[in-house]
Amino acid sequence: MAPIYLMKPIAVLGAGNVGQTMAADLTLKGYKVRLYELPEFAKKSLGEVLETRKIELEGEQINFKWFRNEGVAEIDVVTTDMGEALDGVELILLPIPASGHKAFFEKMIPHLEDGMIISLFPDNYGSLMFRKMIGDELKVIVGGWISAPYGTRMIEPGKIDCMIRAYRFRGDALPSKDWNEFLKEQKDLPFFFTAKLEKADTVMAIGLENANPIVHVPGSILNVGAMEVSQREGVLGVGKGEWSLYRHGMSPAIVRVIEAYYEEILRIAEAIGIEIIRFRKEQFYHKHTIMREAFIAPFYEVSSIMGIKGPLSVEDRYFTEDIPIGCVTAWRLAKKFGVSVPVIESLITLGSIICQRDFFKEGRSLEDYGIEGLGRDGLLRFLRG
């Protein structure tokens, strides 16, 4: 029997950088795609694409297989109607920031049917929140991945510069016993063609080993002064809008904090009883630190990730998403399982002052994930099934 993605359309929910890249990538390989965006964001993120349904995919797309997929893709359906997006689909891809999980899930749930597969890019504990929200009534498969499958940027709505395709890509389903079924309906999609796919040790491991909070939060907080000053043209030799954490913000001292953060994440995972990625010391000490392990670039002295600009303000997701979701979730797990995490706690405290928000209060709770009352053994049974 042919895989479901050859028989039915695929829904791509979220039309940001990754969503538009993914929709074009799939369409150019012959897949029927339903691209959905929340109505309140559609005009800004999609612009004329709402009418033309056309997205131009370009860029180096660096990868070890020298694979490129480029051209103008005419998307089958571009919509702000969730019912239209999900009608008749079985595979649902969500390339959205974790800050959007709840809004998308609330709109999705009334239209879901038994047998659907929901895949999050990145998972960022979203599959846990999703399971809590749907309860036991729907029989769907849900899981997620450690990151987006591309390093990509939107030049303007409908015009995408895909700089690099992921090399190492880890994921899992919730519960883990659904992994094989979760994977088989996705492994042949074009954005996985260049990737080394690996099963992680539960979706909790995916959340903990996500490099975004590990790298972005120490790097952004400890460089916040230089970042803000750089927004005044000509100061520090970095033009306005040209600040890059990887190009301008990485130094041995910064990386030592990133490494210390990671050591605390390791201790949390050990306390829970799950395995996460193990990095060697030398893997931290270059400009793109441990991000290089997922987005390694062949025959390039400097990876394309170095061209990624930002953060440009304290309202950037490096602060407003990675702290309340990545850092705060890790901190809450540490408290639950008796692990001391002074580095993570101090970064949340500093981030709250810098952003003038209380991230301890507004960050995700273990109740949001449906795991507040579970002990270690109960949590492992829930995660693995």
Residues 364 and 318 grouped into a single domain: yes
d(CA 26, CA 365): 35
Total count of domains within the chain: 2
Residues 259 and 190 grouped into a single domain: no
In angstroms, what CA-CA distances link 381 with 271, 338, 362?
Answer: 15, 20, 28
DSSP 96: -
Residues 217 and 326 grouped into a single domain: yes
pLDDT of residue 163: 87
**Domain residues for 306?**
208-384
What average pLDDT does range 38-56 have in this prediction?
96
Residues 81 and 169 grouped into a single domain: yes
In angstroms, what CA-CA distances link 157 with 17, 46, 78, 85?
Answer: 9, 5, 13, 19
Residues 6+ apart with CB under 8 A from 379: 204, 272, 371
What average pLDDT does range 159-176 have in this prediction?
93
Residues 124 and 77 grouped into a single domain: yes
What average pLDDT does range 57-85 have in this prediction?
94
Residues 177 and 221 grouped into a single domain: no
Specify which residues 10 forms β-bridges with: 33, 91
Inform me whether the pLDDT recorded for 272 exceeds 90.
yes
pLDDT of residue 309: 83
Cis-peptide, bond into residue 175, ω within 30° of zero? yes
Side-chain half-sphere exposure of 378, counting CA atoms within 13 A: 7
Tokens at 124, concatenated: 């960022």
Inform me whether the pLDDT recorded for 218 exceeds 50.
yes
Residues 232 and 151 grouped into a single domain: no
Residues 121 and 36 grouped into a single domain: yes
What average pLDDT does range 175-200 have in this prediction?
94
pTM for the predicted model, two decimal places:
0.92
pLDDT of residue 5: 45
Residue that is last in its domain, among 199, 221, 251: 199
Residues 374 and 229 grouped into a single domain: yes
Helix (H) / strand (E) containing 91: strand 91-94
Phi, psi torsion values for 74, nearest 5 degrees: -100, 105
d(CA 151, CA 153): 7
pLDDT band at 21 (very low <50, low <70, confident <90, very high): very high
Q: pLDDT tens, 286-331?
A: 777 877 666 666 655 445 555 678 899 999 999 999 999 999 999 9
DSSP code string of 286-307: STTGGGGGTS--TT-SS-GGGG
Report CA torsion sign: 326, 292, 260, 384.
positive
Would you tell me how many other CB atoms lie within 10 Å of the CB of residue 167? Answer: 19
Residues 171 and 241 grouped into a single domain: no
What's 379's domain CATH number?
A: 1.10.1040.10
pLDDT of residue 254: 94
Residues 189 and 226 grouped into a single domain: no
Residues 130 and 232 grouped into a single domain: no
- Give the orientation angle of helix 252-272 with respect to helix 342-355, to 10 degrees: 120
